[in-house]
Amino acid sequence: MTAGPLSFRVLLQTRYEHTFAEASRNPAPGYALREDVLVRDGDGYSLQRLFFRMAANPLPWVEFKTILDFAKLRGSDVSNVLKQAYITLKPLPDHVEIAAGVFKLPYSILELDPVARFELANLGDVDDVIKNLGFGGRDVGVEVMVAPLAKARHLRLLLGAFRGHAKDENASPVGAIGGRVESKPWKALRIGVSMVGMPASYTYKQPFETSSKDMLPMAADPMYQYAQNWGAGKAYGADISYTRKRFTVRVEGLLGDRVDIDRRYNARSFGALWALAAYRFKVGPIGIMPAIRGELLDMDREHESGGRLQLSAALNVLYKRSARFVLDVTRSDVQRNTTVVEQPRPLAANPYLDLDNTRVTAQLQLEL
């Protein structure tokens, strides 16, 4: 859809989810009840995404793009609606580009690749972890892309400075530094290495963006029970993707520090490895694409807990590139004493533990 120099796109994902899980064996009745509820969080009908994308390219050397997700609108809270909003200057198009605004950090192809093209219903727990830590996902910043070779796809270098966890009284122009080296020696093959570093630790003793749910269970200073603490740390990643006609395979390994001091419960680092394969073929006018994925995540590499294995299988039914139906079955097996990825607030003195579960998702996607 176009209107003069502007182009518009819409993405809608609506779904139904159901989770099967054994009852919690936590000896504390209150914790057991909450863990039984948490493992089924999100079940039922939901509007997963409602993207509205607007882009403009009025001149060869300048481009603007914004993405709003109205599915994240909750009452008067609009903080999560804006997904991307940035301008790109292209002094040497395809070879030197400068982006500024709200966009994705150059870390993990789970975030960098278009979500509308993802072959399964969910990106997985690894994606949730890196976004919760601030290493992946969207942030405010400035990034420079340089492609020094004659063919830009042969080598792309990205380096950016982002807000990270440095804001308000702890504001810094380099709250986070992200970089990525990417190469496509052949059109079918992509190789990438990424790094994001947060050079300093930050404490917000009395942050303004708090509510009663943000109270710490055991605050270091009783005068500041709503403090927020973030540590310094780094995260590394390496990925390889191969796409040849109907076949696709992607593999990625990630390592990083747990910078979420308030929510890490003595964990110090995380590690992850995931792989995905898909094959697409046609039956008349309908496209069929089965896909499988395996994911290993260790949220606490220093202790004998935090490990989880996730196996997914999905069947995609595509019609004319705009409509897609996905049936996804995901099995998650968690190590003993493994905490829930997203701990509910207010934080408990002892974390809630995750449960083995099988989740079935049926999703309808429309892209225009």
- Per-residue model confidence as pLDDT tens digits over 245-286: 899 999 999 999 999 999 999 999 999 999 999 999 999 999
Determine the pLDDT at residue 215: 80
β-pairing, 307-319 vs 286-298, is antiparallel
Alpha-carbon distance of 300 to 303, in angstroms, equals 6
Q: With bands split at pLDDT 50, 70 and 90, how would you rate the model's confidence at 76?
A: low
Distance (Å, whole) CA 297 – CA 14: 27
Q: Bridge-partner residues for 177, per DSSP?
A: 161, 197
| Residue 175 in tokens | 């709250």
**pLDDT tens, 311-325?**
999 999 999 889 999
pLDDT above 70 as % of the chain: 98
Per-residue pLDDT of 3-27, as tens digits, reads: 888 899 999 999 999 999 989 999 9
Domain span holding position 194:
2-367
Judge residue 173's burial from the number of C-beta atoms within 10 Å of its C-beta, 0-12 exposed, 13-18 middle, 19 or more buried: exposed
The per-residue pLDDT for 361 is: 98
Q: Which amino acid is at 295?
A: E
pTM of the model: 0.91
CATH of the domain at 249: 2.40.160.10
CA gap 293, 312 in Å, rounded: 5
Supply the pLDDT for residue 333: 97
Q: What is the pLDDT of residue 225?
A: 82
Rounded alpha-carbon distances, angstroms, from residue 273 to 125, 133, 148, 255, 259: 11, 17, 31, 9, 20
Of 24-33, 66-75, 221-230, least confident by mean pLDDT is: 221-230
The pLDDT assigned to 98 comes to: 98
Own/partner pairs, 163-169, CB within 8 angstroms, 24+ separation: 163/139, 164/134, 164/139, 164/198, 165/134, 165/198, 165/202, 165/230, 165/259, 166/200, 166/202, 168/204, 168/207, 168/208, 169/204
Considering the chain, what percentage of its residues have pLDDT values greater than 90? 81
The answer to whether the CB of 129 falls within 8 A of the CB of 107 is no
d(CA 23, CA 31): 12
Helix (H) or strand (E) holding 46: strand 44-59
Residue range 196-230, pLDDT digits in tens: 999 999 998 877 777 767 788 877 777 788 888 99
Indicate the DSSP class of residue 313: E
Q: Read off the pLDDT of residues 148-187 as tens digits, 9 standing for 90 and up.
A: 999 999 999 999 999 999 998 899 999 999 999 999 999 9
First-to-final CA distance of the chain: 8
Domain count, the chain: 1
| CB neighbour list of residue 118: distance below 8 Å, 6 or more residues apart | none
Cα 9 to Cα 6, 66, 70, 73, 287: the distances in Å are 10, 11, 13, 19, 22
Task: Please answer whether residues 98 and 144 qualify as being in contact, where contact means their C-beta atoms are separated by less than 8 angstroms.
Answer: yes
* pLDDT, tens only, 289-340: 999 999 999 999 999 999 999 999 999 999 988 999 999 999 999 999 999 9
318: DSSP letter: E
pLDDT at 328: 98
Coil, helix or strand at residue 92: strand
pLDDT, position 4: 80
- Which one is predicted more confidently, 2 or 102? 102
Task: Judge if the upstream peptide bond of residue 346 is cis by omega within 30 degrees of 0.
Answer: yes
The token pair at 29 is 């009745």
